Structure 1
Amino acid sequence: MEANDDLVARVKARDTEALAGLIDAERNRLIGFTKSIMSEKLLSMVEPDDLIQEVAAAALAGFETAPLDRYEPIQWLQELCRRRVVDAHRFHFGAARRDAGRQQSMHGAADDGAGGFEAFLAASITSPSAVFSRDVRVQRMHEAVGDLSDEARTAIHMRYAEGLPTKEIAAKLGKTDVAIRVLLSRSVRVLEQQLEDVRPTER
């Protein structure tokens, strides 16, 4: 408990490594919380642990502007869990009612900025090019990914194209799980900034 108190204090001081450590330390608690607010139908389609991986990426990417003046760190992380559950529900159960643009259905749902972009990133890497043949964003995405370092590009591909968990990516690249999650969150933020001018408008 004392170790976690130290992590909380460091997170409040905007220590990124401490945030990653706190997420690791509280992972089981966050998984339990996330599972408790998921419907049975959603649980049959999505693993809570996968959502926590997305929460970790979102937290690391949005850490600089996190409202830690209004929330305790664990409360902020739980709020991100709530948002991710809503995103997942809309993505899986709203997609069937959407047109060919359903691959971006998570974009408007995530106001923390990470979920929708990551869904588009995954779709851009894994979907047949014909699906997006008229979408200039996909070409820009491939160019932006190509500008990343070899290590970042490999990690991005393993996570979003192959769907590997960060721990497995870390083992393959000889890094720690925390280092890989930080690398992924920073890389996604770089890509997001580079594609800001072609971000779709909300309707």
Structure 2
Amino acid sequence: MIFRQNRADEQTDVEPSAPVLYRCHTFGDLAGKDTSQAEFRSSMLTKKGKYGLKALVHLAQLEPGKTAFVSDIAQQNNISKKFLDAILLELRKGGMLRSKKGPGGGYALSKPASQIYVGQAVRILDGPLAPIRCASKTAFEPCDDCDHPEDCQIRHSMTEVRDAIASVLDNMTLEQMVAKRSSGLLDDGQTSSNSQTSSK
């Protein structure tokens, strides 16, 4: 396998409708086959999903009744405003955000952070949680080279991966994610006391 990252999200002129995916291609794919929107990502979270979660965390920390402008969210989280505009629009259409125009306008959560689940946000922005389409519950499609998906060991293994991911993200609220910021966990995954190490 060859892993290739789509870097379009890092450009300031990215089109809002353009999907931002981390793609996994075989040599056959790279030899001329058009691989684009229909493919599943090979990494768990795209930049689009990551930036969307950062924006949600930002909004979850606002005082009740307050809103935030896209430009402020983008600046404070190092995100392209144009790219963030498209992300927030998707989250609003997905029912997670509300917006207000004019003076005092901006974006805010549509409901309390305790009622917003991370898994739902990821699905809105990145699609199904399954690492491959044949392991998805909501967007199942058999692989072109597999005649018996029900007997495929790879599919069964990736189904376990899907279930493990869903069990975490579908039970984690935005409120819980915000709380992790003050739990002593550093950006590099180590605890502030350096008393624990991880091999993950």
More strand by share: 2
More helix by share: 1
Note whether the superposition's TM-score is higher than 0.5: no
Give the TM-score taking structure 1 as reference length. 0.27
Answer with 1 or 2: which has the greater Rg. 2
